Structure 1
Amino acid sequence: MSISALKSLAQAPTLELDKVLLSSNEMSQPWGMCFISADELLFTEKSGKLFRYVVSTDTKTQISGTPAVSTAGQGGLLDVAIHPNFTTNKYVYLSYSISGPGGSTLAIGRGVLNNNQLTGFTEIFRALPFKSGTNHYGSRIAFDKDNHLIFSSSERQEQDNAQLLENHLGKIIRLNDDGSVPSDNPFVGVNGAKPEIYSYGHRNVQGLVIHPETNKIYAHEHGPMGGDELNLVEAANNYGWPKITFGKNYNGTTITTDTAKEGMEQPIRYWVPSIAPCGLAIVNLQNQQANEVNFVLGALAGMQIQWVKIKDDKHVATYSFMKNYARFRDVEVSPDGKIYALTENPNSLILLKTNQVVTGLFERSSGNSGTVSLYPNPVTDIFTIDANDIKGKDEIAICNQQGKVLRSLNVSDNLFDEGKMKIDISDLPSGMYLIILRSKESSTTLKCRKL
């Protein structure tokens, strides 16, 4: 282990401003972002604009072909995400509000990114029913290891919606990547229930992320006056709003005296007073403890960024940074382990720095042959291949970027411990490598950066 890695294990995490990449005169009300590569990201502006930003050249380009949006209140163009197989299908997904009979609602759509244009953009979901208010749409988008589309649909500031399975409001929604309903969704076939629902009893979910190794879904939501929550989201679970809450109405009156009830889930942690959490990302640390997860999240009302550490899905510690700097709207970790944030008041895209050794994202590939993950990535010496769903592979080839095979490993089932295999590349020089799992019928390729 390097000296810097040893030091980081003994220190509480820090976050501070490294660099302002885009300032208030270059953007207006940014809302969501996602990375295409370590050097390139997409971000939305609430007014309906989508941009591509290249970090190395500091260039911003507007993407055409975005849908018409309703921008009243908290509505507009909201989150953006790319398909797990973006490198081949180029699908970009957007969440946004639309107007229609009875008011407005949340919609999800996707299009193909061709250069700087979204082509063939199609709406694949709309939350029902439409409502006359203009607040609490959600909506964050993520994909799980099986390419299911997971996103939040908030309760439109009408409390009772969250407990009603007959509508999409106050719910986490789970779809196939084309917008169809997975056959194993928990409420498929339940009389009167919307089959798209995955969980319910949510208020206003503004952060959602899926752990790329465990496939666990984590989400945070705004409470009213107090009672913001971070939850582990599981199928069919009821998260309680408004039957249980740690918050009060904005006028100080009581919503309920109950903070727990049978059949309703408790949060991993809650905030009183509210910080209005917004944006949520997992920070993968080198040599972190087993079953430990580190999150970074923004805060709107709190005007700060927080680092939350959990272990075994229990809260361990929370650290706060950059208080009163701005309203933090979104946070993301790039594929090479850098932490970025979008802010309002002032509007900006910023790069942060930490005293921890961040290893970046888990590399993952999905296809007809199954799902395979590689982590940590970047790697110092040893990485793990999780090939639990891969059948029939007989060789792992480690190649340079030109495709030259540097090392070849024969694969047999007994090399995998519960579907995982560790590979030592400490003898290879720093750089980018291709890790190829091969069989006679197919191959799966992952990218790995050696530090």
Structure 2
Amino acid sequence: MPICKHLILASGLLLTSTVGIASQAFSSEQADFRLETVAQGLEHPWSLAFLPDGTSLVTERAGRLRVIRNGQLVDTPVGGLPELVVSGQGGLLDVVLHPDFKNNQTLFLSYAHRNQKGMTTRVARAVFDGNQLTGVDVIFEALPRSGASRHFAGRMEFDREGNLYVAVGDRGEMDRAQDTEDDAGGVHRITTDGRPAPGNPFLDDRRRNDTFFTFGNRNIQGMTIHPETGEIWSHEHGPRGGDEINIIRAGTNYGWPEITYGIDYSGLPITLDTKKEGMAQPLHYWDPSIAPSGIAFYTGDLFPQWQGDLFVGALKMRKLVRLELEGGKVSGEEDLLTELGERIRDVRMGPDGALWLLTDSPRGNVYRMVPVQ
């Protein structure tokens, strides 16, 4: 079922100017908007979090946690980060706030870590005092380790019960995603102290790790909570084609690599199957691949036309995708910011009603999408 069955519209540039992106107005099917540059010169920014006092935190994959305060990027990075490794696709990855951050100042970081047994994905909990992390405690570590330097995943999201969902990639070793005694290739649901969350689907199954919530996931690079249902939505990279959007449901096998709509990078098939009994079909997929990264539902007031739409960044195709939803299914698709020519790493719904974007480059930017006045 090719992606062309969906409506695809290209964004158009309304105004060309040589004075910078802030003077450019972009047109979408339903709204005109522009980009405000919030911060520049970040080294492969990966994730963004909004603090209650208006401060923002940005991770740089190169191993720095940065602060944007009063609209300015603070020169000195946050101190006290856990030990991590920057290798290939690994480094400092996601940052999410504790649901009660206002009272406990606790946050969570995902990152790559290396020791003599190899590399893996870790999650640490820490307290942020405004400039420094203290009380750093590793609460999750995906095992076994390996020498691979890709597909760490690392996206995280909290549900309404305060459980933390942690995505771990297949580490580029695809068969690990179907092995539930191996932490790679799935979503793990844990409490804020790292224990398996109550009600996890495999708690009574000795053949499967207690923290597993789903498996058969290749490399999830976007996770968000549905504003109405509370379900966790995600997307993941396919190989050459087969990027997927999924709703993360307990105990579900999403099929990788037993089923896929993509092919191997060599051009050869990974499998001839796109469906199998007991394996979930994606809600939506892309072929060819767009390399999705970052995902957010629009819930603000600045763009009432976009209420309930889902926004997805794209690395390979260098665009922002707007998906219209109807009855829990994708009913339309629009490409935005194709003229920007930047890899979109993260997409966040800001408390100010704007969509915030991170661009992935050695000198990446933080943008706000705001209406044209």
TM-score (norm 2): 0.87
C-alpha displacement of 1:94: 0.2
1:338 corresponds to: 354
For residues 131 and 58 of structure 1, what CA distance do their matches in structure 2 show?
36
Q: Name the CA shift for 1:147/1:155 in 2 (closer, same or farther; >3 Å).
A: same
1:164 corresponds to: 179
C-alpha displacement of 1:312: 2.3
1:284 corresponds to: 299
Q: Name the CA shift for 1:354/1:232 in 2 (closer, same or farther; >3 Å).
A: farther
Q: Name the CA shift for 1:33/1:60 in 2 (closer, same or farther; >3 Å).
A: farther
For residues 206 and 314 of structure 1, what CA distance do their matches in structure 2 show?
20
Deviations 1:126-177 (A, max 9, x none): 0011011100000111111110011211100111111111111110110011
Q: Which amino acid aligns with 1:129?
A: P
For residues 53 and 315 of structure 2, what CA distance do their matches in structure 1 show?
26
- Secondary structure of 1:162's counterpart equals helix
For residues 163 and 219 of structure 1, what CA distance do their matches in structure 2 show?
18
For residues 176 and 13 of structure 1, what CA distance do their matches in structure 2 show?
40
Q: Which amino acid aligns with 2:91?
A: G
- Secondary structure of 1:37's counterpart equals coil
C-alpha displacement of 1:63: 1.1
The match for 1:325 among 341, 344, 349 is: 341
1:240 corresponds to: 255
Deviations 1:420-447 (A, max 9, x none): xxxxxxxxxxxxxxxxxxxxxxxxxxxx
Q: Which amino acid aligns with 1:79?
A: D
For residues 346 and 324 of structure 2, what CA distance do their matches in structure 1 show?
18
Deviations 1:269-311 (A, max 9, x none): 100110100011111156989xx84211111101111111222
The match for 1:257 among 264, 272, 276 is: 272
The match for 2:225 among 179, 192, 210 is: 210
- Secondary structure of 2:177's counterpart equals helix
For residues 356 and 75 of structure 2, what CA distance do their matches in structure 1 show?
16
2:11 corresponds to: none
For residues 51 and 327 of structure 2, what CA distance do their matches in structure 1 show?
31
Q: Name the CA shift for 1:249/1:15 in 2 (closer, same or farther; >3 Å).
A: farther
- Secondary structure of 2:331's counterpart equals strand
1:147 corresponds to 2:162: yes
Aligned residues: 342
2:37 corresponds to: 20
Maintained 8 Å contact 1:29/1:344: yes
1:168-187 alignment runs, 5 A limit: 168-187=183-202
1:350 corresponds to: 367
C-alpha displacement of 1:39: 2.8
Q: Name the CA shift for 1:63/1:117 in 2 (closer, same or farther; >3 Å).
A: same
Maintained 8 Å contact 1:144/1:212: no
Q: Name the CA shift for 1:37/1:103 in 2 (closer, same or farther; >3 Å).
A: same
State percent identity of aligned pairs: 36
1:297 corresponds to: 312
For residues 58 and 132 of structure 1, what CA distance do their matches in structure 2 show?
35
Name structure 1 gaps, 5 residues minimum: 1-10, 356-451
C-alpha displacement of 1:55: 4.5
Farther-moved stretch of structure 1 (110-119 vs 337-346): 337-346
C-alpha displacement of 1:187: 0.5
Maintained 8 Å contact 1:280/1:298: yes
Name segments (4+ residues, structure 1) moved above 4 Å.
57-61, 285-289
Q: Name the CA shift for 1:38/1:295 in 2 (closer, same or farther; >3 Å).
A: farther
The match for 2:79 among 64, 75, 78 is: 64
C-alpha displacement of 1:99: 0.5
Deviations 1:364-402 (A, max 9, x none): xxxxxxxxxxxxxxxxxxxxxxxxxxxxxxxxxxxxxxx
Q: Name the CA shift for 1:321/1:94 in 2 (closer, same or farther; >3 Å).
A: same
Q: Which amino acid aligns with 2:195?
A: S
Maintained 8 Å contact 1:13/1:354: no
- Secondary structure of 1:160's counterpart equals helix
C-alpha displacement of 1:336: 2.2
TM-score (norm 1): 0.72
Q: Name the CA shift for 1:119/1:218 in 2 (closer, same or farther; >3 Å).
A: same
- The higher-RCO structure (CA 8 Å, 6+ apart) is 2
C-alpha displacement of 1:57: 4.9
Deviations 1:9-67 (A, max 9, x none): xx84447542122223xx21111111113732101111211011025455455211111
1:80 corresponds to 2:110: no
Q: Which amino acid aligns with 1:340?
A: W
For residues 74 and 310 of structure 1, what CA distance do their matches in structure 2 show?
31
For residues 143 and 32 of structure 2, what CA distance do their matches in structure 1 show?
40
Q: CA RMSD in A?
A: 2.0
For residues 111 and 99 of structure 1, what CA distance do their matches in structure 2 show?
20
Maintained 8 Å contact 1:148/1:176: yes
Name structure 2 gaps, 5 residues minimum: 1-27
C-alpha displacement of 1:101: 3.6
The match for 2:150 among 132, 135, 156 is: 135
Q: Name the CA shift for 1:90/1:212 in 2 (closer, same or farther; >3 Å).
A: farther
- Secondary structure of 1:65's counterpart equals coil
